[in-house]
Structure 1
Amino acid sequence: MKSGRDAAGARGEGPRRRGLCVLCVLCGLPAAGKSTFARALSHRLRQERGWAVGVVAYDDVMPDVFPQEASARPLPSQWKLLRQELLKYLEYFLVAVINGCQMCAPPNRTEAMWEDFTTCLKHQGLLSSAAREGQSGYLLTETVVSGPLILILDDNFYYQSMRYEVYQLARKYSLGFCQLFLDCSLETCLQRNGQRPRALPAETIHAMGRKVEEPHPGKNAWEHNSLTIRGSAGPSETSPEVTDLLLTALENPVKHVEDDAEQKETDRFICSTNVLHQADQMLRRVVSQTMKEAKDEQVLPCSLKLLAEDLNKLKAEFLEDLRQGNRKYLCSPQTMDTADVLSFFHYEKESIVRKYFSKQRSDF
């Protein structure tokens, strides 16, 4: 059998692969059935279409990076860094596929996660089990270089910004991009989760259900290749629609250079995401400082608890309003300065603080 490099060179597969690769984002709540759906879809595409298919389940690649004790659960900021690192691994693989060469290991990597990532690709027949003696890279298999490649990314992807990072990767290399959203009821997800050996806390799923941002093709041009699958429908029931979506993505790779209209939308999306992130960080600091001053004022413990609940509720409502542009003085996140956000929050915080602090605290 020829190596990935030899096979690609013989066919001239390198640059042509840009139009023969799709990044398919599979998103939905925990226990919505994504992993089962992904496995069945991968099997069907291999059998019926003869395509090379790889399923990258984030839960399978990242969990061994941290100790298993509940007390050692990673912080959200740590998960974000790991997600970005995993995207970098995917990019290294895609570069090898596009150029028909070996996949090199990133110089800066988390060894446990890199090992799980390469093992995932080997088990699905996308990488050879070992490179030649004396080589540090990983060889592509004949399957990868001989036809279309579908990479299914299996994760919750409940924020648009998470999915947009994958879209940016597709745009960088002119690849196909699409989204499959499994819309399963919260009750069903909670029931299935409760039957798992390592179940998530129910509150985690409730919180994610409140935050989930479904694909919005009518609003975001970059999400136009999206399909929502309702209830517990599997790949067999939705096969024509899913296949059509993947074929559309294959035949219409994302353009590396976008037109002005889409670039402006992209800029607005990035601006909105940045402002929301900055606002969240600022409001957290304000709440923390307010609670510190409440303790200095010797506010009773029972009142401290109520104050914290009121401030956190205000912060959550404020960020959601900012995200949706609901309040009349927050016309849209795109036109909002972070200083204005902080000023408006301080203004509304006043009415809450007055209930707990003495009237002499005029500085609040």
Structure 2
Amino acid sequence: MSTRICLVALIGLPAAGKSTFSSWILSIPQQQFNVIHLCYDDFLPAQEHTLNAEIELKLQRSKILETINLLICELNENAYIARDIIKSVKLSENVNCHDFIILCDDNNYYRSMRYKLYQLCRQNKCAYAQIYLECDLKLALGRNSARPDNERVSEEILQRMGRRLEIPNSAKHRWEENTLFLEECDNFTIKKASILGFFSKSLDKILQPLSQCVTTETMMSLLHQLDLLLRKRISEILQLENDLAERSKKSKMLIAKRKKLLQEVRKKTEKESISIDDLNMYVHLLN
């Protein structure tokens, strides 16, 4: 029996219920698939407001992607779970089950964060799914304030994330079409059938790596589209900045970054193929 893997990106504000949802899934006795809960908080350092902390955070997120890639390789080769890396695993009651759901428990509030997981699935021939746990900012703030001090996110950070959270939109980003929206819910059991059904259907949607070549004409078209998307994104980012001096400073920085990204993509297309979906990743590198 071949191994099937579905990487599931959980999306939502802090205190939206992502870890509660993961714990609930792990508690369900069922035979359909094995569940692996990968909580990013187990790998990420405590948040600080320093440049070094931001650099460390990006490095740690890259390491998490490497860990996920390693886990996928091990599962594909041996249907083996690296328990020394992953703390929470729920094995199916069916000992012959080779289907695995990997819950990526993180805020994933930028689309670029999710797209990296999507790319990882495409490279490794896995399925990709998203679950967006909808939660009003006021409710999230209330839940967050009730948390223990060592688990609480600062109100400033939570509000900023609320402004910047990019809700899945398959109309504009086709790769996000396999998304389950869960409205504010304290009892996931009432939606058990639809949730388990979503996971089962997702396991059938294995992604395949891209193989098409890019002609010079296609490359120029993609670069033009990317330039338009970058300009639009810069405009959206600047609209969130009310301080005129800070907006001017940020504008110069973003324009310089836009030019650098266009140069990088131009060089990349000379060596390998890219798709329209890949453009989204570069757009959100502006964040």
1:224 lines up with 2:177 in the alignment: yes
Contact 2:30/2:93 (<8 A) preserved:
no
Which of 129, 149, 165 does residue 116 from structure 2 map onto?
165
Counterpart of 2:34, as a letter, is A
Other-structure match for 1:124: 89
How far is the alpha carbon of 1:204 from its aligned partner? 0.3
Contact 2:7/2:129 (<8 A) preserved:
yes
Other-structure match for 1:84: 62
- Aligned ranges 1:200-219 → 2 under 5 Å: 200-219=153-172
How far is the alpha carbon of 1:318 from its aligned partner? 9.7
Contact 1:52/1:143 (<8 A) preserved:
no
Other-structure match for 2:17: 33
How far is the alpha carbon of 1:143 from its aligned partner? 7.8
Counterpart of 1:36, as a letter, is T
**In structure 1, distance between residues paired with 2:128 and 2:259:** 32
Q: Which has the higher contact order (CA 8 A, sep 6+)?
A: 2
Tell which deviates more after alignment, 207-216 or 93-102. Answer: 93-102
Contact 1:27/1:181 (<8 A) preserved:
yes
Other-structure match for 2:139: 188
Counterpart of 1:203, as a letter, is E
Deviations 1:54-85 (A, max 9, x none): 1111012323xx6x9x6889622321221111
Contact 1:97/1:145 (<8 A) preserved:
no
How far is the alpha carbon of 1:173 from its aligned partner? 1.1
SS at match of 2:171: coil
Q: Identity percentage over the alignment?
A: 25
**In structure 1, distance between residues paired with 2:179 and 2:86:** 26
How far is the alpha carbon of 1:228 from its aligned partner? 1.4
Distance change in 2, residues 1:259/1:178 (3 Å)? farther
Aligned pair count reads 247
RMSD over equivalenced CA pairs, Å = 4.1
- Aligned ranges 1:237-276 → 2 under 5 Å: 237-257=190-210, 271=226, 275=230
**In structure 2, distance between residues paired with 1:71 and 1:211:** 17
**In structure 2, distance between residues paired with 1:101 and 1:241:** 26
How far is the alpha carbon of 1:250 from its aligned partner? 0.6
Other-structure match for 1:354: none
Unaligned runs of 5+ in 2: 263-287
How far is the alpha carbon of 1:142 from its aligned partner? 11
Deviations 1:89-139 (A, max 9, x none): 1111111111117789xxxxxxxxxxxx83534x5267xxxxxxxxxxxxx
Other-structure match for 1:292: none
How far is the alpha carbon of 1:87 from its aligned partner? 0.8
Distance change in 2, residues 1:171/1:163 (3 Å)? same
Counterpart of 2:245, as a letter, is L
